[in-house]
Structure 1
Amino acid sequence: MKKIVIIFSLLLAFNFLFSNELEVDAYVDQTKIGTSDQLTLTLEISGEKANNVRTPQLPDIKGFRVNGPSTSSSSSYSLINGKMTSEVKQKYIYTLIPKKTGNFLIPPISVKFGKQTYTTDPINIKVVQGSTEPAPPTSSRLRNNRNSTTTSSNLEDNLFVRTKISNKSPYKDEPILVEYTLYTRYDISNLSFGNDPAFTGFWKEDVFTPTQISFSRKNLDGIVYNTMLMRSIALFPTQTGTLEIPALELLVDIRTQSNSFFDFGSTKRYSIKSKSEKIKVKELPETGKPSGFINAVGNFNVSSQISESQLKVGDSFTYTLKLSGKGNLKQFDIPKLPEIKHLRFLEPEITTNINKDMISGSKTIKYLVIAQEKGTFDIPAIEFSYFDVQQQKYVTKRSKQFKISVAEGEGSFIASSTAQSSVTQEGRDIGFIIRSDDLQHFKIYFDSMLYWIIFFGILITIPFAVFYTKEQEKLIGNIDYQRQKQAAKILKRYMKQATEMAEKADVGFYASAQTGLSSYLADKLRINRGSTTDQINAEIAAKDISDEMKIRIKEMFEKCNQARFMPGGFSKENIRDDFKLMKEIVSDLVRMKF
């Protein structure tokens, strides 16, 4: 009996160990690819408990940008000698996009399950220029175009992105326009951005991003292409020297040729990139720089007006100064007003209206002015100096001068520190002595319930008033704290938009989700609100949060980038699933401390 128990125990232990055994393998679809191609890396985990393994973390793969993973699983069952066995296969599929040519290594991938660690073999990959795949057929409509000359069959000659820069030698703060345009001779079924370039050394304003595929024809060097403006950006250099205009990467799905009547063809995805460009940013000249220069660069006009010129002491009027034209309207300060005795200028209301080109517009500065003394006062012309990039010199323009007439007010008005004249009572220079000793007696109601209610009410409100005052001072003095306090409100606003879009199964959900999530994380991480998703992911990677959350955020950003302007690959089910994922991410994020 004892022997039977021992044998049975050994069988159970063996069965337990065997059931925990896994097989882990990594493989690619090809070992030689071009810079325009994509590599598929599959990590396959097999075993009875393969679906219990946590999502593996890939090591750093140099020379590639990694997207994914997408997952798939399958199960199989077999009956051998009366015993039922099962096997589960879990696949993690990654898309690797090459960054440059050369020989690269996909290092071993480690998968930990229980106390065991499984490791795959390394894989060597060679990346060459262009594409190793046969070039797809060009569009039949362009092949038959009589205006086209004989063209090359190379992929890079028929599919590329060109960068157009309005000025390659601007001054600091001078706006320039950068346009990325796609040229193709292929039939394209879908497009998406492969990256969100970081414009280091620039203030960036987005001018145009397409919402759907819309091509127009253009003849380039005797060859007709379908062209599409992919992105237009206004850049304002914030530093001098040589700066880089980064490359824009696009993921393009091209239709292949059908082989028969019943073959509708398929699509092949390619990754293409524009060339990065260099510009030389010049420093503004010191010669002729006005003392009141406020870093305005461009070409501007100045106008001013007042709402009233005739008023009484204690009345107020509006003084409006308007700066309009083309230049860095958002970047410079407002002109300084001289101190005008007996007129009190309150803090201005500033409104900046920018046109669609993000370069031209106006800045309106409105002051509420209080008359503190009677008399006639002059509001002098306000000087505004800017650097004119066309004339390459400093220009000073002046606003209109105004005269204000202030009459005596009906009631008394206490002058502020800007009006130091004495206060008199006309017609009553002598105060008469009160002869009556029959003075009114006032009773203080210490024994009144109302008195003590008011007293304790005031006493209770003091801590709240102190807290509110300190909170306001902190919000005003600490921009990072202010951004963190406002982050939840901004996220809530964009989540409301995303919810409405998702309920309609509108692909615009992804734009609202990405804007809200990136703004919230930028505020919480205390980085620039215009930071790219790659920069945000890099900051998150350094934070002490779970790997699972990092992966979920990265996947969400990748989906948003893919759907930013191309609705083709996202069904109603995709939008609903991604909306659910977004809600889970937001729910977890708001409970985290960064």
Structure 2
Amino acid sequence: MRTSLKSIVLLIIGIFVSTSLCGQDIQVKASAPNQVGVGQSFRLTYTSNERISSVDVPKTNAFTLLSGPQTSSSSSMQIINGQMTSNSTYSWTYIMQADKEGTFDIPGAIVNIKGKGVRSNSVRIQVIASSSQQTQQGNNQRQSTQNQTFDKNDFFIKANVSNTNPYVEEQVIIQYKLYLGPQAQRYQASIRKLPSSTGFWTYDLNDKEAEPARTTETINGKKYTVMDLYAVAVFPQKTGKLSISPLEVQTIVQVVMQQQQRSNNPWDVFFNDPFFGGGRVQNIELELKSNPVTLNVKELPKNKPADFSGLVGNFTMKASLSRNKLSTDNATNFSITISGNGNLQHIEAPEITFPSDFDVHEPNIMDNIQKGANGVSGSRTFEYVIIPRNPGAFVIPQAFFSYYDKTKKQYVSLSTDEISLKVEKGKGQAGQYYSSSNKKNVQIIGTDIRYIKTTDTQLKTKHNAFFLTPLYWLLLFLPFIGFVLFVILLRKQIENKKNIAKIKDKKASKLARKRLLKAEKYMKSGNNEQFYIEISQALWGYISDKFHIPLVELSLDTTRRKLEERNLKPELIDECMNVLNQCEYERFAPASDTTAQMLYDMSFRFITAIENEIKKM
């Protein structure tokens, strides 16, 4: 009995101890410098012995989150006395910036590990006055002991614009190039802030998988290494002077410093020459900005064609029919393809008057867009499904499309050829057919003549009179009641259609969720480029429709102002801005490690939070 009781007690103690040890397995530690200067960037790192799924970084008024997270992992293995042990470390690093002077605490973050939230320790950081003067003094001291060949002015970013006086909807290519002076050995650059603008439709021209192009250029006798850093195609949407903010880049440059040491040994002078690899290697951090870009957008010439598309470029158009002979129980596909260089996503379906004997569905739009150093080109195809209802010979009329050709300095009108379609009678319709245009009456062949009935017929008198009964009065006034209700509903529908903003407001959430579902399909298929495009269009389209902001005026500043005018909570506004920033960062900055699933979840929570907050107001 005592043995059994002792075994039970030991088993309970063992379970308790093992449970306690399991609870202590997961460890999370936050680390950061104890002291930084105002305006100085630093690393905030969260480290754990288990794989981290996500980190909820707390927001503070004293620090600004610049970028991140950057994830890394390491593992080690030891064998001692025949026993093997392994340790793994997982880190998530964020780049922060100190905004004001003082001593501040960054609260513990919630780190998600294996589906559980583990809180890290808090971090206390002392922010002192800007250390630029101290850094300058240190540089002066180093300059007194060595002859530096480093010149900060030899490192800069230049924005090259293909055309500074474009027309509305004319393609303008902006290439941002990084110039490295002759003293640079290696470099590392990360985009800190992308250019922002209002009044443009933009396309990202960067190939995230390709290595940046590298060339050399001589300026004022100095030979520079030139790197293609970033490229974008913009299409101005309105006339006037439009500006694009600079591109901001954080760069670490490795240069060779020649030591200023006098020696009587001639070999020291020989091998100290930088040409032979002499001198001391130093890493210098630089924050570079490109020149801002200003475009003077001109209005297109007058005498525009009636069917003018509003586009500028060079296009071609063709039409095709999947088959020009079929029966009434089949369908055919009619396609119109417009190809060329220009803003392809602004091409709308040409107006075509199909024969009234056709059932035609809304066109399916397919884009084939190529983006590269020469800008945006490709094609947009409109595919119609045509179902003929009657047999006969039909003609699909011409389609028209016009644009402005800057090279020819004139408007160009394109048209397709007429296409003939022969429709035969389908199976199972030998005895009847109809025409939607009332060209022929419905025919019933073989049953339109009936024989005289020769058998005895017994007639009965019907005693129930229908006249003046309640049913009689109901049927009499029912058309008038229906007409009044129809007029009321029609007027209400007309008023609702006039209020376009109200319609867009109601449909904003529905349209955004449809785009999110489409983005999810791209994410599961591994098509990241289309995924980021759909996520971006879902978020910006939702904001445009929900808060009545025209597409040409969309920007982060406009969005914040509209959210504040709706008296939303400051925390929600900050979270919304973070989601939009993260979305744009993921779309244009290939260095980020945020997963597509995280970005999808953030976007879904963003729309849901806005909808819930507006419903409470």
For 2:176, give the aligned amino acid: Y
Q: Does the C-alpha gap of structure 1 residues 407 and 559 become closer, same or farther in structure 2, counting only changes over 3 Å?
A: closer
How many residue pairs align between the two structures? Answer: 443
Q: Does the C-alpha gap of structure 1 residues 176 and 371 become closer, same or farther in structure 2, counting only changes over 3 Å?
A: same
Q: Does the C-alpha gap of structure 1 residues 282 and 132 become closer, same or farther in structure 2, counting only changes over 3 Å?
A: farther
Give the one of 377, 380, 389 matched to 2:394.
Answer: 377
What is the rounded CA distance, in whole Å, between the counterparts of 1:496 and 1:263 in structure 2?
52
Q: Does the C-alpha gap of structure 1 residues 532 and 227 become closer, same or farther in structure 2, counting only changes over 3 Å?
A: farther
8 Å CA contact 1:68–1:555 kept in 2: the answer is no
For 2:292, give the aligned amino acid: S
For 1:276, give the aligned amino acid: P
Secondary structure at the aligned position of 2:509 is classed as: helix
Give the one of 402, 405, 408 matched to 2:422.
Answer: 405
Matched, 1:182 2:178: yes
What is the rounded CA distance, in whole Å, between the counterparts of 1:193 and 1:479 in structure 2?
36
How many percent identity over aligned positions?
A: 21
What is the rounded CA distance, in whole Å, between the counterparts of 2:350 and 2:534 in structure 1?
34
Q: Does the C-alpha gap of structure 1 residues 211 and 419 become closer, same or farther in structure 2, counting only changes over 3 Å?
A: same
Aligned to 1:231: 230
User: How far does the alpha carbon of each residue in 1:269-326 deviate from its partner, in whole angstroms, 9 at most, with x for none?
Assistant: 2110100021111112221x11122223211112112233333344432222221111
Q: Does the C-alpha gap of structure 1 residues 320 and 183 become closer, same or farther in structure 2, counting only changes over 3 Å?
A: same
Secondary structure at the aligned position of 1:295 is classed as: strand
TM-score under structure 2 normalisation?
A: 0.57
What is the rounded CA distance, in whole Å, between the counterparts of 2:425 and 2:587 in structure 1?
66
What is the rounded CA distance, in whole Å, between the counterparts of 2:106 and 2:504 in structure 1?
49
Aligned to 2:289: 273
Residue 552 of structure 1 and its aligned partner are, at CA, apart by: 11
Q: Does the C-alpha gap of structure 1 residues 337 and 219 become closer, same or farther in structure 2, counting only changes over 3 Å?
A: same
Aligned to 1:329: 344
For 2:165, give the aligned amino acid: S
8 Å CA contact 2:327–2:426 kept in 1: the answer is yes
Matched, 1:203 2:201: yes
8 Å CA contact 1:375–1:405 kept in 2: the answer is yes
Residue 206 of structure 1 and its aligned partner are, at CA, apart by: 0.6
Secondary structure at the aligned position of 1:294 is classed as: strand
Aligned to 1:194: 192
8 Å CA contact 1:192–1:566 kept in 2: the answer is no
User: How far does the alpha carbon of each residue in 1:410-461 deviate from its partner, in whole angstroms, 9 at most, with x for none?
Assistant: 41565464455312234654244677899xxxxxxxxxxxxxxxxxxxxxxx
Q: Does the C-alpha gap of structure 1 residues 335 and 558 become closer, same or farther in structure 2, counting only changes over 3 Å?
A: closer
Q: Does the C-alpha gap of structure 1 residues 232 and 305 become closer, same or farther in structure 2, counting only changes over 3 Å?
A: same
8 Å CA contact 1:194–1:562 kept in 2: the answer is no
Aligned residue runs from structure 1 range 91-240, under 5 A: 94-95=96-97, 106=100, 153-156=150-153, 158-185=154-181, 186-210=184-208, 214=212, 216-221=214-219, 222-240=221-239
8 Å CA contact 1:181–1:229 kept in 2: the answer is yes
8 Å CA contact 1:349–1:367 kept in 2: the answer is yes
8 Å CA contact 1:254–1:267 kept in 2: the answer is yes
For 1:180, give the aligned amino acid: Y
Stretch deviating more after TM superposition (361-370 or 335-344): 335-344
Q: Does the C-alpha gap of structure 1 residues 514 and 271 become closer, same or farther in structure 2, counting only changes over 3 Å?
A: farther
Secondary structure at the aligned position of 1:296 is classed as: strand
What is the rounded CA distance, in whole Å, between the counterparts of 1:291 and 1:343 in structure 2?
27
8 Å CA contact 1:325–1:360 kept in 2: the answer is yes
8 Å CA contact 1:521–1:536 kept in 2: the answer is no
What is the rounded CA distance, in whole Å, between the counterparts of 1:55 and 1:344 in structure 2?
57
For 1:179, give the aligned amino acid: Q
Aligned residue runs from structure 1 range 516-527, under 5 A: 522=540
Secondary structure at the aligned position of 2:231 is classed as: strand
Aligned residue runs from structure 1 range 477-516, under 5 A: 478-486=506-514, 489=517
What is the rounded CA distance, in whole Å, between the counterparts of 1:68 and 1:407 in structure 2?
65
What is the rounded CA distance, in whole Å, between the counterparts of 1:340 and 1:384 in structure 2?
20
Structure 2: gaps of 5 or more residues: 1-33, 45-57, 70-93, 108-124, 143-147, 260-276, 458-496
Give the one of 318, 326, 334 matched to 1:319.
Answer: 334
Aligned residue runs from structure 1 range 404-423, under 5 A: 404-410=421-427, 411=429, 415=434, 417-418=436-437, 420-423=439-442
Structure 1: gaps of 5 or more residues: 1-25, 31-37, 44-53, 60-64, 71-91, 98-105, 114-119, 138-150, 439-472, 502-507
What is the rounded CA distance, in whole Å, between the counterparts of 2:337 and 2:162 in structure 1?
28
Aligned to 1:296: 311
Stretch deviating more after TM superposition (215-224 or 258-267): 258-267
Instruction: Give the root-mean-square deviation of aligned CA atoms.
Output: 5.4
Stretch deviating more after TM superposition (421-430 or 228-237): 421-430
Greater helix share, structure number: 2
8 Å CA contact 1:192–1:251 kept in 2: the answer is yes
Q: Does the C-alpha gap of structure 1 residues 111 and 174 become closer, same or farther in structure 2, counting only changes over 3 Å?
A: same
Aligned to 1:394: 411
For 2:178, give the aligned amino acid: L
Residue 179 of structure 1 and its aligned partner are, at CA, apart by: 0.9
For 2:216, give the aligned amino acid: K
For 1:351, give the aligned amino acid: M
Residue 564 of structure 1 and its aligned partner are, at CA, apart by: 7.3
Q: Does the C-alpha gap of structure 1 residues 378 and 250 become closer, same or farther in structure 2, counting only changes over 3 Å?
A: same
TM-score under structure 1 normalisation?
A: 0.59
For 2:384, give the aligned amino acid: Y
For 2:40, give the aligned amino acid: L
Aligned to 1:144: none
8 Å CA contact 1:188–1:252 kept in 2: the answer is no
